[in-house]
């Protein structure tokens, strides 16, 4: 990814590039969401990055810069995916990684990733916002590089997703929809779109629509909250990039809105069974958000309210892979196979 967009990233010939071939993820046309919305809808499937989420885009830059600066230890707070990415890229770089997580709130796949990539894992009795506060305090003591999105290199790396979308579509979409947790990603996408717009690579600037879980919607409500949601990757009560999200929404004419956990889980199952794309719950907030925009309970500022012009393009970022968090959909869907004896008749009966 760094090699693809080197001139727009904070790297020099002196930067050792630590990469796992992240980025260049598929932009998948969605026939069914297109039919529902009357627009051309695409899904940017970030779950196909090396550790299964978009966090790899920021991490390749953050870890490369940390190694360039001589760091031998990186540290982060995480709802799961940042720690998976940090641990993998630290392993690749041959440096140490420590992660601070909210105990009991990390999806099983993500926790396994932190361990298997060799990170030191500390689970605190608190939420992500507490973990980030402790990481900031540890960073102030010195000797470690913080690789949360308060590290500006993370946002720089993540903006490349917008570049890829413009490269593929030939212009920016009219509307971009994504889930919002700590708000680093909406900040990064908006930066990427503006940069390519300024460089005449696109004549369009998309309206940015961010969706928070209704139980973890501090930006929507305008004040920090105690976060509750099944979508653990956006379970954040006091986002670090709050101002970046507000700027993206204001400058683009978009909005921040909410979707419920039930809408998120329904959208997750709908996307998997209608388009063959399995994303984690937080990622399904994009799809749930689009469905909300198409319904009658959309917010008054919704760009869909005035109708879309013909041929509009919409891109939804689906941020992480569904296999990261198998427990949530199983619990929601109550999935269980039909059991049968091991003979043809019994199996045919079970299939009927
Ligand atoms: C980190 C993450 C988010 C939220 O992104 P922010 O930059 O924190 O707003 C959403 N979905 C997934 C899968 C994530 O890992």
Average pLDDT over the chain reads: 95
Test site for ligand 1: of 44, 55, 179, most ligand atoms within 8 A of the Cβ: 179
The mean pLDDT value for 155-169 works out to 98
Per-residue pLDDT, 328: 87
Tally the C-alpha atoms within 13 A of residue 91's C-alpha that lie toward its C-beta. 16
pTM of the entire structure? 0.95
DSSP letter at 8 equals G
Test site for ligand 1: of 319, 323, 324, most ligand atoms within 8 A of the Cβ: 319
Using the atom order of ligand 1, give the atom closest to the CA of residue 279: 13
Relative to beta strand 96-102, strand 313-318 is unpaired
> pLDDT tens digits for 17-50?
999 999 999 999 999 999 999 999 999 999 999 9
* Nearest protein CA to atom 5 of ligand 1, as residue: 181
Q: Is the pLDDT of residue 310 over 90?
A: no
* Nearest protein CA to atom 15 of ligand 1, as residue: 81
Using the atom order of ligand 1, give the atom closest to the CA of residue 181: 9
Residues with CB under 6 A from ligand 1: 53, 55, 81, 149, 179-185, 233-234, 280, 282-283, 319-320
The least confident of 154-158, 262-266, 267-271, 332-336 is: 332-336
Cβ–Cβ under 8 Å, residues 210 and 219: yes
Per-residue pLDDT, 3: 96
Q: Is the pLDDT of residue 105 over 90?
A: no
Using the atom order of ligand 1, give the atom closest to the CA of residue 282: 11
Q: Is the pLDDT of residue 275 over 90?
A: yes
Distance 333 CA to ligand 1 centre (A): 23
Per-residue pLDDT, 93: 98
> pLDDT tens digits for 228-262?
999 999 999 999 999 999 999 999 999 999 999 99
Q: Is the pLDDT of residue 329 over 90?
A: no
What is the three-state SS of 227-241? CCCCCHHHCCCCCCC
Q: Is the pLDDT of residue 202 over 90?
A: yes
Distance in angstroms (rounded) separating the CA atoms of residues 150 and 77? 11
Per-residue pLDDT, 199: 98
Distance in angstroms (rounded) separating the CA atoms of residues 349 and 352? 5
State the Rg of the chain over Cα. Answer: 20
The least confident of 105-109, 275-279, 345-349 is: 105-109
pLDDT confidence bin for 303, thresholds 50/70/90: confident
Q: Is the pLDDT of residue 331 over 90?
A: no
């Amino acid at each position: 990814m760094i090699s693809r967009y080197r001139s727009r990233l904070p790297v020099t010939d002196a930067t050792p590039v630590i990469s796992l071939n992240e980025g260049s993820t598929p932009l998948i046309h969605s026939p069914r969401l297109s039919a529902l919305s009357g627009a051309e809808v695409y899904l940017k499937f970030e779950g196909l990055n090396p550790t299964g989420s978009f966090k790899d885009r920021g991490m390749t830059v953050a870890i490369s810069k940390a190694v360039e600066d001589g760091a031998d230890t990186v540290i982060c707070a995480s709802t799961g995916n940042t720690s998976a990415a940090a641990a993998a890229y630290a392993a690749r770089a041959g440096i140490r990684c420590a992660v601070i997580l909210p105990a009991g709130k990390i999806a099983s796949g993500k926790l396994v990733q932190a361990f298997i990539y060799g990170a030191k894992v500390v689970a605190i009795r608190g939420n992500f916002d507490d973990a980030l506060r402790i990481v900031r305090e540890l960073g102030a003591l010195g000797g470690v590089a913080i690789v949360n999105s308060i590290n500006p290199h993370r946002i720089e790396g993540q903006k490349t997703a917008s570049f890829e979308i413009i490269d593929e579509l030939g212009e920016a979409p009219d509307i971009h929809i994504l889930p919002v947790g700590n708000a680093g990603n909406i900040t990064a996408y908006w930066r990427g779109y503006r940069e390519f717009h300024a460089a005449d690579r696109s004549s369009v600037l998309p309206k940015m629509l961010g969706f928070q879980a209704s139980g973890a919607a501090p930006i929507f409500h305008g004040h920090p909250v105690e976060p509750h949601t099944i979508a653990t990757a956006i379970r954040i009560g006091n986002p670090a990039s709050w101002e970046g999200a507000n700027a993206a929404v204001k400058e683009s004419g978009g909005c921040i809105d909410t979707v419920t956990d039930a809408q998120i889980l329904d959208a997750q199952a709908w996307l998997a069974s209608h388009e063959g794309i399995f994303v984690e719950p937080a990622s399904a907030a994009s799809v749930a958000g689009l469905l909300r925009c198409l319904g009658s309970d959309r917010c008054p500022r919704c760009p869909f309210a005035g109708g879309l012009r013909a041929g509009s393009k919409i891109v939804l970022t689906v941020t992480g892979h569904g296999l990261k968090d198998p427990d949530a959909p199983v619990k929601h869907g109550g999935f269980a196979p039909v059991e049968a004896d091991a003979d043809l008749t019994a199996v045919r009966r079970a299939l009927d």
